[in-house]
Amino acid sequence: MYRAQEVAKYVIGECTKAGKPVDNMKLQKMLYFLWIEYYRQTGKNLFNDEIQAWKYGPVIPAVYWRYRTFIADPICLTEPNTVSQNDASILSPLVMRYNKRDVRSLVGETHAKGPWKTIYDDGKGMSGTIPYDMIRDYADSYERRLSRMERNRQNRLKSLLDELINAGVESDENGLDDVKDGFKHCTLKNPRA
C-alpha cells in the first residue's frame, strides 16, 4: 500500500509524460477513481490517507495542500516514482482513461451518486471524512451492477437473435449459429468510456 502522495506523484508524472498534465482538482478526482478501480481489481486499498467530501468532490487533503500553489494551473513535475511495476501496469491505463476526461465530468460523476454525495449532503458534511468502508461498498455495488447489465445485454441479444430466426432471416449454412455462438462470447467492455 502507498501513501496518496506517492500515487499522486505517479499520476502527475504519467500525465506530464503524456503531454496532458493535470491540475490539482483533476488530480483529486483521479486519485479517488483510481482508488476505486484499484480496489475493484485487487481487493486492496491503494492508499489509506483520509478522503474528505469538499464542495467539488472527494479530496485527499495531504495531496491537495502539497499542490495548492498550482491553483488551477497544470502540475508539470516529474518526481521519483515509487509505484511498483505490477501496480503501474494496473494504474497506467486507468490514469490515461481518466486523464482523457475533463474535470467537470469527473466532478459530475462524484456528485451524481456514491459516497461523496452521501457524506457531503448538500454542504452539511463539508470536509467530512468519507469512510473507506463506504467507498468499498460502492465499488462492490458497481461490480454487481455490471454483472446485472451483462445479463440484461445477453438477454437482449438472445431476444434479437430469436426475432431474426422467427422472421425467417436466411443465412448460409452456419451464419446464424456463428452469430449465436458469438453472442455467447460477447462481454461488456469499458461501459463508462
pLDDT per residue as tens digits for the range 83-120: 999 999 999 999 999 999 999 999 999 998 889 999 99
Instruction: Give the range among 68-72, 165-169, 187-191 with minimum mean pLDDT.
Output: 187-191
Chain mean pLDDT for the chain: 86
Average pLDDT over residues 65-88: 93
Angle at 75 between CA 74 and CA 79, to 5 degrees: 160
**Grid cell for residue 41:** 481489481
Give the pLDDT band (50/70/90) at residue 161: confident
If residue 140 lies in a helix (H) or strand (E), which one and from where to where?
helix 132-166
CA–CA distance, 12 with 99 (Å, rounded to integer) = 10
CA–CA distance, 34 with 108 (Å, rounded to integer) = 16
CA–CA distance, 35 with 44 (Å, rounded to integer) = 9
Looking at the predicted structure, is the pLDDT value of residue 155 above 60?
yes
pLDDT given at position 146: 61
Looking at the chain, the whole-number percentage of residues with pLDDT higher than 90 is 64
pLDDT given at position 98: 97
pLDDT per residue as tens digits for the range 37-64: 999 999 999 999 999 999 999 999 999 9
pLDDT given at position 149: 64
Looking at the predicted structure, is the pLDDT value of residue 180 above 60?
no
